Chain A
Amino acid sequence: MLEDFLSKTWVLDVKKTRILKGEKPNTVKIVGSNGEFLEVVPKKPFPISNPYFLIFTDVQGNEVCVMEDYRETDAESRKNLEETLEKLYFIPVIRRVRKLETSGDEFIWHVETNRGSREFKTRGRRSVNRSGEKIVIIDTNDNVYIVEDISKVDEHSRMLLETVT
């Protein structure tokens, strides 16, 4: 039964697939050995745990195909994909934690990200999720931030992060 659903899934062969920019915003064009798709939208079903796995849907939202690891596509395709995905999945990477204040059950974060400096608030323990070295932070307004590898940030930031994870 699971096989039925699996066989219906078309898995793209990354080596034979090229990705171009789509004509509408947020879309890409897939050029494969089996023909051409116009206007497909890339989606990440596992944006945190497996961010390179993609599902492509048509503009109506119907699934067209999947790609298991987009990093294996050629450089240009990858660039096109990443430029599109950047807006769909805006997850700034925290490089440094300058200050961490507490007031009541709230934390006020002062951080430097790869997109510039930022202040945000989190509430409760569940807004900071750690799995291994990776930390995902969801603030009170549902913005998402990520620390990709806690062992690679500076000492001060690591100390602050360790106190909340």
Chain B
Amino acid sequence: MEHVETSGIILEKLGEEERKLVEKETRPEETILSIATGDLSDDGNYSKYLFIVTNKRVLKLDEKGLKQVELEIGRITQVVFNDYLGNSELILVVDGREVPVARFSKDKISEFRHAAGVVNALLQYKDPREIEFKLYFEKNGKSRKSAIIWLMSYLKPHWYLVLTGLTLSVVITGLNLVPPSLLRTLIDQIATQKQETTLLNLTVLLITIYALNTLLGILQNYSLSLLSQKLVYSMRRDLYSHVQELSMSFYDKMSTGRVISRITDDIGRVQWFLVWGIPSLIINVLSIIGIGIIIFTMDYRLSLFALLPFPLIILGIPRFRSKARLVYHKAWRKWADVSSLLVDTIPGISVVKSFAKEKGEVNRFIERMNEVVKANLDITRLHLSFFPILGFVSSAGAAIVWYVGGLHVISGDISPGTLVAFVSYMWMFYGPIQTVTNLAEPLQQAVTSGERILEILRIDPAIKDAPDAQDFEIMGDIRFENVTFGYEPFIPVLKNINLEIRRGEMVGIVGQSGSGKTTLTKLLLRFYDVNEGRILIDGVDIRKIRLERLRKSIGIVAQDPFLFDNSVLFNITYGLEKVDLKKVIAAAKAANIHETIMNLPLAYDSPVGERGSRLSGGERQRIAIARAIILEPKILIMDEATSSVDTLAERQIQQALDNISKERTTIVIAHRLSTLQRSNKIVVMDKGRIVETGTHEELLRLNGLYAKIYKAQFAEAEKQVAVA
């Protein structure tokens, strides 16, 4: 049953004809697991085709429905994904031969990765149910509707505020409709009958209504603002705690900037929709209905004239908006051009001057400013081409109503008061209609934003505690068994890694950048799960160790340590729940940074600046070491800890490392081999594989890659000495 549903969802993204084609070509007992739509033929011409993976076969259908490829899953042994410039291809290994099956542009990469992932899963698991499980993240097609339902779910806990706001809105709308009818009474009764008491009563009534309106307006505004703040608070809180939980793989796919924008901008738009958009819509629609009823009951013939500007409003405003978007965007772009020129030339002023290009730069600025002026005038012209006409048509409509209404008054059909009241209502009519027409687009945007937020909330953390996860005191024995891993499926970064590190040992990892050293440590921290093989700590698969315990037992000093914009004290005690000041000082001493900190103006209370910008690279590094030391981790990872600092700083850091690496398992990733002389074992990596293992001396004797790197660095060091 679930199979059918999966197929249904996959089919939903296809067009009618494609769907028919797929249904014709697949057998009823087959489950469709993935469909990718390709766009390049084998000889490199743009042409559409469908690449279908079922639990039984791989199929490729061209536009006419001809089978270009048909392969039973059982014959496939491997999937290869090759990326080239401007296009990519999928190759299947069938009966030991590599068969290129699909070629496609970069647009289609994610679709084909999915398809390739499914084929690969079929090769591994054989059981389609497991694949179903893997596929469940597949988006279903109902997100628009569910986004609105989800948004509404936030309103529910604050129903009393919603109710208050709406009730007040309705009452205010009603009150707004009263004054014109008082005007009618004023003209018809006072002007003709000259009754002073009625005049007084009317005045008092009018003032009361305005007073009530002001008071209720304040209450309405406050309750809606309160609601708005509460909603945004809970949405941001939920979204933020969710993104904190999400795995590193999520952040690989989505840039941090985009995540931030969803927490700030998108939620802002949704807030607007919930709190101002909906009430505004309701109030204005109510006003339109209310006024409509009033004027039609007053005089339906006159009402028809009042409707004169309607077509212009309803047809014109959306047209105006779509044009306005373009011209506003243009003005914004032109302004951005000016800003970017400033950002370029003011900091680069010395270059400008040394090339004597001041005049040229001024001309460039003038050119761009001219563009800004033009773009802004475009905006003015657009406004002038629409609103004055709208104003004229409305006024002309009113004038006609005056004339026709005047005739009715003369003939005695209606009273003068009715005519005046009618005209007042008529003017009140246009405002809400314009507002409602204007609301359509922001509403649309809010729903889109809601979808974008929901998209993130629906992602499950890829890495979480297993139900039977263990919590135990970690001692620090590490073993990698046949570990293979890639950030993208089919592009392994680590291949068949076997490595044993015993507790208390210090192991150095050496290799060129991109050889997989850092990835190794990320796997140990379980930022990602291995694709094949397993990693054991104290004989337990790390996927069965409680995440919190695992990560708290591993200290890490990264290549460029990230410090938070806060005090030194805050940064050193970041991982701690309880702070012992003596320990803070002891850790800083062990990290060889205490003296430096004491010389800062506010010592440990000194702010480090954004990302630690007020400190030097070596100081940041040693603070990061102190942060790791204070946790007393059983396993310590140090990534290129001395790569970005000068020799003095290196010596200080080296000393800190010697302090910290006692009595714990230490993994040091190093470019400078001098760091590694003390290690029990050195592992040399190349292109994702371990190529050599041994002590410093053993590796030198081996005369392999390590010896080569060592000699190169040695020569470099000698050169430096010679220069000095």
The interface of chain A, by Cβ under 8 A from chain B, is: 1-2, 4-6, 9, 11, 43-50, 53, 55, 66, 68, 126, 129, 136, 138, 142, 144
Tell me whether B652 is interfacial, beta carbon within 8 Å: no
Q: Which of B129-169 contact A (CB under 8 A)?
A: none
Known: A2-B590, A2-B630. A47 touches B581 (CB 8 A): no
Q: Min CB distance, B584 to chain A, in Å?
A: 8
Q: Min CB distance, B469 to chain A, in Å?
A: 28
Assembly CA distance A45 to B586 (angstroms):
12
Question: Do A49 and B605 touch across chains, with their CB atoms under 8 A apart?
Answer: yes
Q: Which residues of A contact B586 (CB under 8 A)?
A: 2, 5-6, 9
Query: Could you count the A-B residue pairs with CB atoms below 8 Å apart for me: how many are there?
Result: 68
Known: A5-B587, A45-B581. A129 touches B598 (CB 8 A): no
> Can you offer 23 A-B residue contacts whose CB atoms are under 8 A?
A1-B629, A1-B663, A1-B664, A2-B583, A2-B587, A5-B590, A6-B583, A9-B585, A9-B586, A43-B598, A45-B585, A45-B598, A46-B603, A46-B605, A47-B605, A48-B567, A48-B602, A49-B567, A49-B604, A55-B598, A68-B581, A126-B609, A136-B602
Q: Min CB distance, B654 to chain A, in Å?
A: 16
Q: In the complex, what residue of chain B is closest to A53 when comparing beta carbons?
A: B581
Q: Which residues of B contact A136 (CB under 8 A)?
A: 602, 605
Assembly CA distance A50 to B609 (angstroms):
20
Assembly CA distance A155 to B537 (angstroms):
59
Contact with A along B576-594 (1 / 0, CB 8 A): 0000011101110110000
Known: A2-B587, A2-B632, A5-B587. A11 touches B582 (CB 8 A): yes
Q: Which of B596-646 contact A (CB under 8 A)?
A: 597-598, 601-605, 607, 609, 629-630, 632
Q: Min CB distance, A50 to chain B, in Å?
A: 6
Assembly CA distance A50 to B604 (angstroms):
10
Question: Do B659 and A47 touch across chains, with their CB atoms under 8 A apart?
Answer: no
Tell me whether B76 is interfacial, beta carbon within 8 Å: no
Question: Do A144 and B602 touch across chains, with their CB atoms under 8 A apart?
Answer: yes
Tell me whether B232 is interfacial, beta carbon within 8 Å: no
Most buried by A among B589, B602, B630, B632: B602
Interface of B is mostly: helix
Tell me whether B102 is interfacial, beta carbon within 8 Å: no
Assembly CA distance A154 to B632 (angstroms):
46
Q: Min CB distance, A157 to chain B, in Å?
A: 23
Tell me whether B569 is interfacial, beta carbon within 8 Å: yes
The listed residue (B590, B602, B607) touching A126 by CB distance below 8 A is B607
Known: A2-B629, A2-B630, A129-B607. A46 touches B581 (CB 8 A): yes
Q: Which residues of B contact A45 (CB under 8 A)?
A: 581, 585, 597-598, 603-604
Question: Do A6 and B603 touch across chains, with their CB atoms under 8 A apart?
Answer: no
Question: Do A1 and B662 touch across chains, with their CB atoms under 8 A apart?
Answer: yes
The interface of chain B, by Cβ under 8 A from chain A, is: 567, 569, 581-583, 585-587, 589-590, 597-598, 601-605, 607, 609, 629-630, 632, 659-660, 662-664
Question: Do A66 and B605 touch across chains, with their CB atoms under 8 A apart?
Answer: no
Question: Do A5 and B598 touch across chains, with their CB atoms under 8 A apart?
Answer: no
Q: In the complex, what residue of chain B is closest to A57 when comparing beta carbons?
A: B598
Assembly CA distance A49 to B604 (angstroms):
9
The listed residue (A44, A47, A68, A126) touching B582 by CB distance below 8 A is A68
Q: Which residues of B contact A138 (CB under 8 A)?
A: 601
Q: Min CB distance, B723 to chain A, in Å?
A: 35
Q: Min CB distance, A141 to chain B, in Å?
A: 12
Assembly CA distance A11 to B605 (angstroms):
21
Query: Knowing that A5-B586, A126-B609, A144-B601 are A-B contacts, what are 19 other residue pairs whose CB atoms are under 8 Å apart, sorted by A's residue number?
Result: A1-B629, A1-B659, A1-B660, A1-B664, A2-B630, A6-B586, A45-B581, A45-B603, A46-B569, A46-B603, A46-B605, A47-B605, A48-B567, A48-B602, A49-B567, A49-B569, A49-B605, A53-B581, A55-B598
Q: In the complex, what residue of chain A is closest to B632 when comparing beta carbons?
A: A2
Q: Which residues of A contact B602 (CB under 8 A)?
A: 47-48, 136, 144
Q: Min CB distance, A137 to chain B, in Å?
A: 12
Assembly CA distance A44 to B569 (angstroms):
13
The listed residue (A1, A47, A66, A126) touching B585 by CB distance below 8 A is A66
Assembly CA distance A137 to B645 (angstroms):
32
Assembly CA distance A44 to B609 (angstroms):
21
Question: Do A44 and B590 touch across chains, with their CB atoms under 8 A apart?
Answer: no
Assembly CA distance A142 to B614 (angstroms):
14
Q: Which residues of A contact B598 (CB under 8 A)?
A: 43, 45, 55
Q: Min CB distance, B233 to chain A, in Å?
A: 19
Q: In the complex, what residue of chain B is closest to A5 when comparing beta carbons?
A: B586
Question: Do B583 and A47 touch across chains, with their CB atoms under 8 A apart?
Answer: no
Assembly CA distance A68 to B580 (angstroms):
10
Q: In the complex, what residue of chain A is closest to B565 when comparing beta carbons?
A: A126
Assembly CA distance A93 to B597 (angstroms):
24
Assembly CA distance A46 to B569 (angstroms):
8
Q: Min CB distance, B578 to chain A, in Å?
A: 14
The listed residue (A4, A48, A50, A126) touching B581 by CB distance below 8 A is A50
Q: Which residues of B contact A44 (CB under 8 A)?
A: 603
Assembly CA distance A43 to B585 (angstroms):
13
Q: Which residues of A contact B597 (CB under 8 A)?
A: 45
Assembly CA distance A53 to B609 (angstroms):
24
Assembly CA distance A156 to B252 (angstroms):
49
Q: Which residues of B contact A49 (CB under 8 A)?
A: 567, 569, 604-605
Q: Min CB distance, B708 to chain A, in Å?
A: 35
Assembly CA distance A4 to B660 (angstroms):
11
Q: Min CB distance, A3 to chain B, in Å?
A: 8
Q: Which residues of B contact A50 (CB under 8 A)?
A: 581
Q: Min CB distance, B587 to chain A, in Å?
A: 6
Assembly CA distance A129 to B603 (angstroms):
15
Known: A44-B603, A45-B603, A50-B581. A5 touches B589 (CB 8 A): yes
Assembly CA distance A153 to B609 (angstroms):
29
Question: Do B601 and A142 touch across chains, with their CB atoms under 8 A apart?
Answer: yes
The listed residue (B590, B604, B629, B660) touching A46 by CB distance below 8 A is B604
Q: Which residues of B contact A1 (CB under 8 A)?
A: 590, 629, 632, 659-660, 662-664
Assembly CA distance A2 to B569 (angstroms):
17
Q: Min CB distance, B710 to chain A, in Å?
A: 29
Q: Which residues of A contact B663 (CB under 8 A)?
A: 1
5 cross-chain pairs, A with B, having the tightest CB-CB distances, nearest first: A5-B586, A48-B605, A6-B586, A45-B603, A45-B604
Q: In the complex, what residue of chain A is closest to B581 when comparing beta carbons?
A: A53
Assembly CA distance A157 to B601 (angstroms):
27
Q: Min CB distance, B564 to chain A, in Å?
A: 13
Q: Which residues of A contact B632 (CB under 8 A)?
A: 1-2
Assembly CA distance A47 to B629 (angstroms):
23
Assembly CA distance A31 to B664 (angstroms):
40
Most buried by B among A1, A48, A138: A1
Q: Which residues of B contact A68 (CB under 8 A)?
A: 581-582
Q: Which residues of B contact A129 (CB under 8 A)?
A: 607
Q: Which residues of A contact B589 (CB under 8 A)?
A: 5
Q: Which residues of A contact B630 (CB under 8 A)?
A: 2
Q: Which residues of B contact A11 (CB under 8 A)?
A: 582
Assembly CA distance A126 to B582 (angstroms):
28
Q: Which residues of A contact B590 (CB under 8 A)?
A: 1-2, 4-5
Q: In the complex, what residue of chain B is closest to A126 when comparing beta carbons?
A: B607
Assembly CA distance A107 to B609 (angstroms):
20
Q: Which residues of B contact A66 (CB under 8 A)?
A: 582, 585
Question: Do A47 and B603 touch across chains, with their CB atoms under 8 A apart?
Answer: yes
Assembly CA distance A138 to B609 (angstroms):
14
Assembly CA distance A46 to B568 (angstroms):
10
Assembly CA distance A53 to B598 (angstroms):
13
Assembly CA distance A2 to B583 (angstroms):
7
